[in-house]
């Protein structure tokens, strides 16, 4: 059994393939955290120690026992109002303005299926659920802690359900001021807090800092998970590396504002809390009403970051992504954006399709500029009607002409936004998030539609459906190009619920559209990687990794992304040079090597390629098609740190360890450079491997123990892509 309950001790143990998570309801009814780590069959309650500590208060029930204080004990769901002055997971405000809650254990339930969350994305699949009920009698409040166990990928998920079960007799309405979905308490040990920071066009840079006394936090208050901080973090022992040491990963299955906090307390204990951002959050609950917090996915590794990443990669591929394209090889596409931006018509798209077909590219995507009066980014968002004058035909006719060239057809949308210069805004200015009497904050001259209003969501659903029914469309890129501000909805007097309800509105639209059009490949995007999270991946099996398509920057961006997300979900394209974001020039081979790290495609004007370059493109497309099963489903290894090393190196190995693709990109160039040595991983020690291109044969054990030399010649940003295949005739 994955979930075991010791009734005598009131101890719950959750077991995955390699890990154990344990907690206990103690004699006072408080739920204490006992252990999370390597799998074991033992009770860890002996780790709980109690001392009389100054200025650490005691629950009233403890009577004369001054040694019992929640200010020093490890807890599953610490709340404000119990004498615990550390970071809390839950804060409640009463209508009279008081803060304070006292949740006690009230029962449990074990179910032989993984829980789902109404209106929210969550991991799915075969598993078990533990529900632990906590109750505050005074407030008439029940909190259910949800634990999901996905045994095979060593994942435990956490979520929270809050219900007001009594009304005026218990003080009336309450306001949820903070609801975190997961808390981990560590009694001892030195830990580092690993986060992934960035900015638009340079997302998910790795940052590692020692957790010191006080609070360290990352998060987003932008209404989206953000370019600035990703909702995936790692807590690692100080000595942990790629291949050795303990580490814990936490990924928030949510695409809105979030918070992740790590605190080292006065007794050198460490607490980690992850959940919704507190900023502009104050959710009212009246009798009978229920609030569901988004899910956190947790995993532990005793074998370094590589093993931890493997857990998350498997979980994302098998338990987060859904739909027709979850396990299918994605088509190689060319996007029109960097080929022509807004300056195109139907003939240009057909010409791009013809060029794509000649090179073996399978799909053409018509990006921004096909609707309303959209000739730049200052107008027409919200007017989701095809500009047939600009295209010179209907969308159906354009789709047919593209398909006649032998390629598939896709389009770009940005459904959450509205331009002030649009018919929709002129008719419904109240549908935009903006504070009455205040000049709005604009970005790209656009505002945000109030998706907390179901009428707005229904309108956009009808409009997008109308568009998608006009042609045979196989791909949709869903974009979102600004952060939220001026949070005010005319549909409610409770503005503290708008950001959460907005995100649920986005999810409801995604759920309906993906169900209505199940054969479409949906790709998420928010100015590239501004909403790269498990919440979006639940609806879109890939996300445009970054608006920055520069190959050298992408080595770093995709490196950071790989810690929590598999290659199969990273949209990655070969773009033109000089690169449109950096001005850098890299050769076509290097751009192809880097883009093959993700869902592969092109972002350039194919008509401007030379004949030599066109032949290279044909070879790249053919190579990707051959390698796609390995790239999408293989085990990924980071072989260097591009933030510290002169090169980026990574490899992918198939399940049987018979085939491996190793990629190396030179990031720096200096005179008389030393040789680069790359140590491979994931091979069989007792096997030999043959370099597919040169025929050279190597020992798997030697390649992993000491590596192989990569000769550096003249020229910047050189790259190598080496396919190794097990040499069956000669085993060691």
- What are the residue numbers of the active site? 533, 613
The helix (run of H) or strand (run of E) holding residue 651 is: strand 647-653
Based on its alpha-carbon atoms, the radius of gyration of the chain, rounded to whole angstroms, reads: 27
DSSP 8-state code for residue 57: -
534 φ/ψ sector (left φ>0, alpha ψ -120 to 50, else beta): alpha
DSSP calls for 455-496? HHHHHHHHHHHHHHTTS---EEEE---S---S---TT-S-GG
Place of tokens 């001392």: 51
Q: Is 205 exposed, middle or buried (0-12, 13-18, 19+ CB in 10 A)?
A: middle
The helix (run of H) or strand (run of E) holding residue 359 is: helix 346-359
- Dist CA 503 CA 507 (whole Å): 6
Which of 262, 205, 306 shows the shortest CA–CA distance to 561? 205
Those residues with Cβ within 8 angstroms of residue 211's Cβ, 6 or more apart along the chain or in another chain: 190, 191, 192, 193, 235, 262, 263, 264, 270
SS3 state of residue 258: strand
- Dist CA 288 CA 560 (whole Å): 43
- Tokens representing 59 are 């629950």
Sign of CA dihedral 435, 438, 441, 445: positive
C-alpha to C-alpha distances, 143 to 12, 128, 156, 373, nearest whole angstrom = 17, 19, 19, 50
Sign of CA dihedral 481, 485, 487, 491: negative
C-alpha to C-alpha distances, 139 to 59, 290, 643, nearest whole angstrom = 17, 14, 51
- Tokens representing 5 are 């309950």
- Dist CA 549 CA 547 (whole Å): 6
- Dist CA 102 CA 105 (whole Å): 10
Place of tokens 């160039």: 669
Q: Is 294 exposed, middle or buried (0-12, 13-18, 19+ CB in 10 A)?
A: buried
């Amino acid at each position: 059994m994955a979930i075991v309950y010791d009734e005598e001790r009131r101890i719950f143990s959750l077991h995955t393939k390699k890990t154990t998570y344990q907690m206990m309801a103690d004699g006072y009814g408080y739920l204490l955290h006992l252990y999370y780590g390597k799998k074991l069959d033992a009770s860890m309650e002996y780790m709980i120690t109690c001392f009389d500590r100054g200025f650490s208060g005691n629950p009233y029930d403890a009577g004369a026992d001054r040694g019992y204080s929640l200010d020093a004990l490890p807890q599953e769901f610490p709340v404000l109002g119990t004498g615990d002055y550390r970071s809390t997971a839950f804060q409640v405000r009463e209508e009279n303005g008081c803060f304070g809650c006292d949740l006690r254990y009230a029962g449990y339930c074990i179910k032989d299926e993984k829980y789902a969350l109404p209106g929210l994305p969550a991991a799915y699949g075969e598993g078990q659920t533990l529900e632990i009920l906590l109750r505050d009698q005074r407030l008439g409040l029940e909190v259910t802690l949800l634990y999901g166990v996905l045994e095979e990928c060593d994942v435990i998920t956490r979520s929270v359900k809050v219900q007001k079960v009594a009304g005026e007799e218990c003080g009336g309405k309450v306001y949820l001021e903070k609801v975190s979905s997961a808390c981990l308490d560590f009694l001892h040990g030195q830990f580092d807090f690993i986060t992934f920071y960035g900015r638009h066009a340079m997302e998910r840079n790795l940052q590692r800092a020692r957790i010191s006394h006080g609070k360290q936090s990352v998060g987003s208050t932008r209404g989206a998970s953000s370019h600035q901080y990703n909702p995936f973090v790692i807590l690692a022992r100080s000595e942990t590396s790629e291949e050795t040491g303990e580490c814990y990963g936490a990924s928030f299955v949510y695409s809105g504002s979030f918070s992740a906090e790590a605190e080292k307390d006065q007794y050198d204990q460490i607490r980690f809390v992850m959940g919704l951002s507190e900023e502009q959050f104050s959710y009212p609950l009246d009798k009978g009403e229920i609030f569901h917090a988004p899910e956190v996915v947790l995993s532990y590794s005793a074998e370094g970051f590589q093993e931890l990443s493997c857990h998350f990669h498997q979980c994302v591929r098998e338990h987060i992504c859904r739909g027709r394209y979850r396990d299918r090889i994605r088509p190689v596409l060319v996007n029109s954006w960097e080929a022509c931006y807004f300056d195109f018509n139907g003939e240009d798209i057909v010409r791009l399709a013809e060029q794509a077909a000649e090179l073996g590219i399978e799909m053409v995507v018509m990006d921004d500029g096909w609707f309303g009066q959209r000739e730049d980014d200052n107008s027409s968002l919200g007017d989701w009607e095809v500009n047939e004058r600009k295209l010179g035909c209907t969308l159906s006719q354009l789709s047919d002409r593209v398909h006649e060239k032998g390629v598939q057809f896709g389009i770009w949308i940005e459904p959450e936004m509205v331009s002030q210069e649009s018919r929709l805004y002129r008719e419904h200015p109240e549908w935009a998030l903006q504070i009455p009497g205040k000049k709005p904050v604009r970005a790209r001259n656009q505002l945000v539609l109030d998706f907390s209003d179901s009428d707005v969501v229904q309108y956009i659903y009808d409009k997008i459906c109308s568009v998608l029914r006009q042609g045979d469309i196989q791909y949709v890129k869903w974009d979102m190009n600004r952060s939220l501000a001026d949070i005010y909805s005319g549909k409610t007097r409770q503005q503290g619920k708008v950001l959460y309800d907005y995100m649920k509105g986005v999810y409801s639209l995604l759920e309906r559209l993906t169900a209505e059009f199940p054969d479409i490949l949906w790709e998420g995007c928010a100015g590239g990687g501004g909403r790269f999270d498990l919440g979006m991946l639940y609806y879109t099996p890939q996300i445009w990794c970054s608006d920055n398509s520069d190959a050298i920057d992408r080595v770093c961006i995709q490196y950071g992304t790989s810690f929590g997300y598999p290659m199969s979900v990273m949209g990655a394209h070969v773009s033109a040079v000089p690169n449109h974001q950096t001005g850098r020039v890299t050769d076509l081979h290097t751009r192809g090597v880097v883009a093959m790290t993700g869902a592969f495609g092109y972002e350039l004007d194919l008509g401007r390629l030379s004949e030599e370059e066109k032949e290279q493109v044909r070879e790249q497309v053919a190579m990707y098609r051959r390698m796609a099963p390995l790239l999408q489903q293989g085990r990924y290894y980071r072989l260097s740190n591009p933030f510290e090393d002169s090169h980026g190196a990574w490899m992918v190995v198939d399940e049987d360890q018979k085939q491996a693709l190793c990629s190396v990109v030179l990031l720096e160039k200096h005179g008389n450079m030393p040789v680069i040595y790359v140590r491979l991983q994931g091979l069989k020690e007792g096997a030999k491997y043959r370099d597919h291109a040169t025929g050279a044969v190597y020992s798997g054990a030697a390649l992993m123990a000491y590596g192989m030399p990569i000769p550096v010649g003249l020229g910047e940003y050189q790259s190598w892509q080496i396919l190794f295949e097990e040499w069956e005739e000669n085993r060691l």
